[in-house]
Chains A and B, each alone.
Chain A
Amino acid sequence: MPVSGKDVRKIADLARLSLADTDLPAITEQMNSILAHMDVLTRVDTTSVGATDNVPGKGMTLRDDRVAPIPMNTTAPLLAPDSRDGFILVPRLATHEDA
């Protein structure tokens, strides 16, 4: 299943990566070259495998409902690249620009 440059753009968009137009053909080719090696899997008979066989038999252990946060040697606003009044600040969504 080869991908087109348009597909790669869409994927990059989902992954929040910007690709230069000049890089697109090379990246598309690389992806196709890698994906070509994956096609071997389509020919493997996996009918013996149940839908959830990969998950270990033991279920997950749960934690008690106690308030005991993992300590940090700083605070969220101090860790963030930009913050004010305790809030973390980010540039606004283009669609949310001041009305």
Chain B
Amino acid sequence: MSDWSKKYEMVVGLEVHVQLKTRSKAFCSCSADFGAPPNVNTCPVCLGLPGALPVLNAEAVRLAVRAAIALGFTVNPKSVFARKNYFYPDLPKGYQISQYDQPLAVNGTLHARIPGDADTHPIAITRLHMEEDAGKSVHDRYPHMTAIDLNRAGVPLIEIVSEPDMRSAAEAGAYLRTLKQILEYADVSDVSMEEGSLRVDANVSARLHGEPKLGTKTEVKNVNSFSAVERSLQSEFDRQCEMLERGQHILQQTMIWDASKGTVRPARSKEESHDYRYFPEPDLPPLLLATEFVKKIESTLPELPQKMRERFSSEFGITDAELDAVTADPRIATYFEGVARAHGDGAHAAKWVMGEVAAALNESATKIQDFPIRSTQLAELLDMIRDGKLSHTAAKTVFGTMRTTGKTAPVVAAELSVTQVGDDSQLEQWIEEVFAELPEESGRFRAGEKKLTGVLVGAVMKKSKGRADPKKVNALLGKYSS
């Protein structure tokens, strides 16, 4: 496959659906939880029974506004719900309640960060609107029949629509990762692509470099990870370029990503032409949001990743790679900050959070909020290392015991008798004993054979059962050498 990017430019716009973290559905009081047996979380409203009416969930509005503010949108003081009409068996009413020409929020910007790239890429986000989810259709469970589960029908979503501002698969990936990170910080959604609480539809087209007009776009669906988005975009871009190269026209169509083959294929043709016949939802008056309401939500919004990054950078002086790692997840960031604050050395804290802590979380599949070693306790451990009370090796052992027992670092170190000895008189006593036990080597060392330092330090360490501070032993030995 040739590299088309020299000749053609990729143009990508993304539509992202995000499920809001509410207890109940968007327009009825059914549970929004996953995992119930089919059709258990349903009521007259989300089943679309004759005579049932929607009533909007206040928490869904609060979370949508939170997301909008976090993404730099202007929240409209008045937004209007609209009906999107189409027939599908998992769409109970024959229409989806969405927003159309008066969405919740408009004109956002996202500063996408590509790891290792110093600058962020500003990407315009056209709109953010609220809507309800459809149910689930299972086509392969029974012969000739489709099985419908409406537990998900009516669950609140926000749809975030970007401008076609992205020019590479990597940039699209960066947009998505940054978006996910911001929504995680804003705490509005579980944002898990694997669990379907974040879904991506990508519009992609190709054009010659320098060409001002956009090419015909296709929509890529069925991608369930960020890396799959990147791979599917590249695959679809290559396909389009090959067609353009042969002088063929691109058909505006939906492409399905086949993860197992690593290729896209056209969706089986839809039976009908789409005409959604949007019109204002007569069952719902307009949503009016007072300025004070929006301001209040803004004031409760936590620090967002970009701000936090800048602050950590100036406060703790850690590297870009360290910043990427410790700010990736808001709870990790909070933990890191706790450690760094209490301990004082940001780089040291970052090293431990990215190293031992991350490994421990990974190994035990725990979340940081459930991690038994609190940030101040880890800081205490790091203090002991800095103060020479624990060797690095001993610290790892202590860390392991802290995890299982919940005890503090000084307690564990004392119990395990691994506290490092830095007391000069004790160290000198061990040195004297070693000299006595190794007269041959000590004689040569005293005569100036410096390369024996290592042997002697090792002997002292052994004698001390690993507790002697090797740096100090080293320094003290210097006094005996002529």
* Chains A and B share a contact (CB less than 8 Å): yes
Given contacts A14-B277, A76-B47, A86-B37, contact A52 B147 (CB under 8 A): no
Contact assessment for A67 and B30 in the assembled complex, using a CB-CB cutoff below 8 Å: yes
Given contacts A88-B150, A92-B146, contact A69 B272 (CB under 8 A): no
Residues of A within 8 A of B275 (CB): 14
Report the minimum CB–CB distance from A59 to chain B (whole Å): 3
Contact assessment for B146 and A89 in the assembled complex, using a CB-CB cutoff below 8 Å: yes
Of residues 63 through 80 on chain A, the ones whose CB sits less than 8 Å from some CB of chain B are 63-70, 72, 75-77, 79
Write the B279-292 contact mask toward A (1 if CB under 8 angstroms, else 0).
Answer: 01000111110000
* Top 4 A-B pairs, shortest CB-CB distance: A59-B288, A65-B59, A87-B147, A62-B58
Nearest-CB residue, chain A, relative to B87:
A16
From A62, A72, A79, A87, B141 is in contact (CB under 8 Å) with A87
Report the minimum CB–CB distance from A3 to chain B (whole Å): 14
Contact assessment for B80 and A52 in the assembled complex, using a CB-CB cutoff below 8 Å: yes
Nearest-CB residue, chain B, relative to A14:
B275
Complex CA distance for A79 and B48, rounded to whole angstroms: 12
- Asked if B39 lies at the interface with its beta carbon under 8 angstroms from chain A, I say yes
Contact assessment for B29 and A68 in the assembled complex, using a CB-CB cutoff below 8 Å: yes
Residues of B within 8 A of A97 (CB): 144
Report the minimum CB–CB distance from A62 to chain B (whole Å): 4
Report how many residues on chain A are interfacial, defined by Cβ distance under 8 Å. Answer: 41
Contact assessment for B39 and A62 in the assembled complex, using a CB-CB cutoff below 8 Å: no
Residues of B within 8 A of A68 (CB): 24, 29
Write the B71-108 contact mask toward A (1 if CB under 8 angstroms, else 0).
Answer: 00000001010000001010000000000001000000
Could you pull out 29 A-B pairs where Cβ atoms are within 8 angstroms? A52-B80, A52-B286, A58-B285, A59-B288, A62-B57, A63-B57, A65-B58, A65-B60, A66-B24, A66-B29, A67-B31, A69-B28, A69-B29, A69-B43, A70-B43, A84-B147, A86-B40, A87-B39, A87-B141, A88-B147, A88-B148, A88-B150, A89-B142, A89-B147, A90-B89, A90-B148, A91-B144, A93-B139, A94-B271
Of residues 9 through 64 on chain B, the ones whose CB sits less than 8 Å from some CB of chain A are 22-24, 28-31, 37-45, 47, 49, 52, 55-61
Write the A44-69 contact mask toward B (1 if CB under 8 angstroms, else 0).
Answer: 00000000100110111111111111
Given contacts A76-B47, A89-B142, contact A65 B271 (CB under 8 A): no
Report the minimum CB–CB distance from B25 to chain A (whole Å): 9
Report the minimum CB–CB distance from A99 to chain B (whole Å): 9
Given contacts A13-B272, A60-B56, A60-B285, contact A65 B24 (CB under 8 A): yes
- Asked if A96 lies at the interface with its beta carbon under 8 angstroms from chain B, I say yes
Complex CA distance for A59 and B41, rounded to whole angstroms: 29
